[in-house]
Structure 1
Amino acid sequence: MITPSLVTSRPLRIGIAGCGAISRNHLEAFRALTDAVIVGVCDIDLQRAQETAQAWGIPAAVTTVQELLGLGLDIISVCTPHPTHEDVVLQAAAAGVHVLCEKPISTELASAERMLKACDDAGVKLGVLFQRRFWPAAQRIRAAIDDGTLGRPIMGQCSVMLHRESEYYSRDACRGTWAGDGGGVLMTQAIHYIDLLQWFMGDVAELYGKINTYKHGANIEVEDSATAVITFTSGAMATLEASTAVSPSLGVQIRVTGESGASASLTEFPEGSDGRVDLWAVDGAISTEPAYPEGTDPNVSLTAINGQLIPHHTAQVRDFVHSLRNGGEPAVTGQDATKALRILLAVYESSRTGLPVRFDRLPESTRSLAQVAG
């Protein structure tokens, strides 16, 4: 088993599992570190793995996770499709290799819990990519909650109103399916902001939600729109709205009001840009920035979105490496990531039943995704 004490004086050996679009962010992030070296990539498509390895100057290209782990890794970065995360993580844990996994941690709660247990039993760290926590704006709001500037949060709002063309779904047979993605806008886009909302507001006690498909029904079987009303264990309340049926995109806004009466909000517009504090209402004074700067193109390609997030991917990767070298937990643990998954699965369950979901009664093993969708 790899332990932090064994990796304090040499470069860490990194393997990337999955060579799809998001792998670029992981490749760039690890390449930016002076104390890590990418020794191999893995993809079920050998040609894609070989092309990635050649383009990035990586020694090995393989087709199985076991081959990748056999290269003597310290960390495996998981960039495979959502439903395959568990298999990769369990193999890594069995090999004593630390794991940095793309969001969502999994598509089912029971699967996520198996991943957590396997890593805990093996004594390896499990981190999950929620790079927007590393925005300076998000850090500022979290600090204002912690230092009492905002006070204990009592009201929250999360609005994720994004644009996707039909080609976004139709060019990938797995995208927009329950089996391939595990969900729609909630699982693939809004999960980032659900994570931020619960990071600001705290643990959830109860949730009532609805999902629907308004625009992309010809191309997807999952939801393109969702809403929820959330009550937290603290007694705080929040609303959530999310959609990929918006044209033009309105981006993302998250607002928090504390018990002091002070409020702060951040906006990500256009999608992929750094979140910025656009409202700071503290001590009776209000400062604002335009949520929608004039002349900004609202609809941004997926390639551009991912590219603009690379600095924050890098910050989270650096934090994960620091946790291995110096002990302690990474900024976003597998347990943290499971909270966001639990929230969005509860929206699906509530929409299916028409009833609120109490988190102390949420089934440990969720229904099949097809049943949830129905």
Structure 2
Amino acid sequence: MSGLLRIGLLGAGAHSQQNHGPSWRDYVIRHPGVVELVAVCDLDADRAKAYADNFGFARVTTDLDQLLAEGLDGLVAITPMDVTEMLASRVLEAGVPVVIEKPPGVGIAGAQRLLDVAQRTGTPHMISFNRRFAPPLQRARTWMTEGGHQARHVISRMLRRNRLEPEFGRDTGLHQVDAVLSVTGRPQRVEGHYEFPQGTRAANYTARIVGTGGITASVVQTPDVGVAEESMEILGDGFRAWINFQDGVVQIDADGERVLEWSAANPAMALHEANGAYDETVAFVEGLQPGGSLAPTMEDGLATMQAIIALQEGTTWQMGA
């Protein structure tokens, strides 16, 4: 691969405008001479034009086939869930490396079909699970890696208010579970449980997860408790890393002392940086370079879907069962 990496984008809706467009604009500013923002594709031509003007893409189209004919090195596909499987399959079949929106298809069956296409075509790909790339978690992970610290248990909570939609876990809680699995490794066993007492407006969900190498996790999702909170504690021998995704904070204590404290509020970070969207963009570009690799993959996405379904349905999922 020589010259600039040619990047296209599919989907100029609100989520893309808030997260992906600003991330690509900032990447080009901070890393000149690396990527070329070739074209934006959206069914709404006016919306695509406004997106291109705002974030620096050169051209606009309403035709995915035309976008795929641009000789792209990578494509960002930010699409509604009900069409993600169909559109992502077309991109994978075309052999264009792609990052797709979560969830990877509707339910486990859709995720499995996308995985089948990815494995058959061999097209490089990743899923947009941006919590994995959130700066507080990245800093905790770096501290653990550099110091040789191993996680033993993870405690994670996602609290929300007035989130009464039955798909809460699949559409929002999926981020929390994937972030946990990025620490524990792919799940070997998930024991889900939920409570929905008469007179309440939403169920509360809990799960125990056993990951690769025996790392365990306790997960809580409560969609209607009057407050928004998203946190993770990573516990290991002699240390605790506490991460607040909502406020962009990480605190690490080791052997009785505070050894690291960082906040996205200082310096003030834009939302697309604080929530991991920018670092996800960086990871995509790095993965497109010679010798690079992309993650999380469809296999990771399927594992996350299997875990969230067990959590939602209060069932037990076992690897290989």
- Please indicate, yes or no, whether the TM-score normalized by the shorter chain is above 0.5: yes
Q: Which residue of 2 aligns with 1:298?
A: none
For residue 226 of structure 1, the aligned residue among 205, 214, 232 is 205
Trace 1:203-242 onto structure 2 (pairs within 5 A). Answer: 203-211=186-194, 225-242=204-221
CA distance in 2, matches of 1:323, 1:314: 14
For residue 306 of structure 2, the aligned residue among 339, 342, 347 is 342
Trace 1:111-150 onto structure 2 (pairs within 5 A). Answer: 111-146=110-145, 150=149
CA distance in 1, matches of 2:72, 2:196: 42
Q: Which amino acid aligns with 1:53?
A: A
- Displacement after TM superposition at 1:15 (Å): 1.9
CA contact (8 A) 1:150 1:282 kept: no
Q: Which residue of 1 aligns with 2:90?
A: 91
CA distance in 1, matches of 2:68, 2:317: 40
Matched, 1:281 2:266: no
- Displacement after TM superposition at 1:158 (Å): 0.5
- Displacement after TM superposition at 1:213 (Å): 6.9
Q: Deviations over 1:210-241 (max 9, x none)?
A: 34679xx99xxxx6742222233534432111
- Displacement after TM superposition at 1:161 (Å): 1.0
Q: Deviations over 1:278-298 (max 9, x none)?
A: 3x332244569799x9xxxxx
TM-score where L is the length of structure 1 = 0.71
TM-score where L is the length of structure 2 = 0.81
For residue 264 of structure 1, the aligned residue among 229, 236, 241 is 241
- Displacement after TM superposition at 1:159 (Å): 0.3
Matched, 1:30 2:8: no
For residue 255 of structure 1, the aligned residue among 227, 233, 244 is 233
CA distance in 2, matches of 1:213, 1:81: 29
CA distance in 2, matches of 1:288, 1:322: 27
CA contact (8 A) 1:116 1:126 kept: no
Q: Which amino acid aligns with 1:19?
A: A
Q: Which residue of 2 aligns with 1:322?
A: 286
CA contact (8 A) 1:49 1:62 kept: yes
Q: Which residue of 2 aligns with 1:67?
A: 66
CA distance in 2, matches of 1:290, 1:137: 7
Q: Which residue of 1 aligns with 2:185?
A: 202
CA contact (8 A) 2:98 2:125 kept: yes
Q: Which residue of 2 aligns with 1:157?
A: 155
TM-aligned CA distance change 1:74 to 1:225, over 3 Å: farther
Partner of 1:241: helix, strand, or coil? Answer: strand
Q: Which amino acid aligns with 1:26?
A: H
Q: Which moved more, 1:141-150 or 1:327-336?
A: 141-150
- Displacement after TM superposition at 1:320 (Å): 1.4
CA contact (8 A) 2:20 2:272 kept: no
TM-aligned CA distance change 1:48 to 1:205, over 3 Å: same
- Displacement after TM superposition at 1:87 (Å): 1.3
TM-aligned CA distance change 1:239 to 1:144, over 3 Å: same
- Displacement after TM superposition at 1:55 (Å): 4.2
TM-aligned CA distance change 1:12 to 1:59, over 3 Å: same
Unaligned runs of 5+ in 1: 167-175, 178-182, 294-304, 362-374
Q: Which moved more, 1:55-64 or 1:39-48?
A: 55-64
CA distance in 1, matches of 2:316, 2:23: 40
Q: Which amino acid aligns with 2:175?
A: H
Percent of matched pairs sharing the same residue: 26
TM-aligned CA distance change 1:357 to 1:317, over 3 Å: same
Aligned residues: 308
Flag the structure with higher strand content. 2
Q: Which residue of 2 aligns with 1:13?
A: 6
- Displacement after TM superposition at 1:94 (Å): 1.8
Partner of 2:13: helix, strand, or coil? Answer: coil
CA distance in 1, matches of 2:8, 2:203: 34
Trace 1:173-192 onto structure 2 (pairs within 5 A). Answer: 176=165, 183-184=167-168, 186-192=169-175
CA contact (8 A) 1:149 1:262 kept: no
CA distance in 1, matches of 2:132, 2:106: 21
Q: Which residue of 1 aligns with 2:223?
A: 244
CA contact (8 A) 1:93 1:119 kept: yes
Q: Which moved more, 1:73-82 or 1:308-317?
A: 308-317
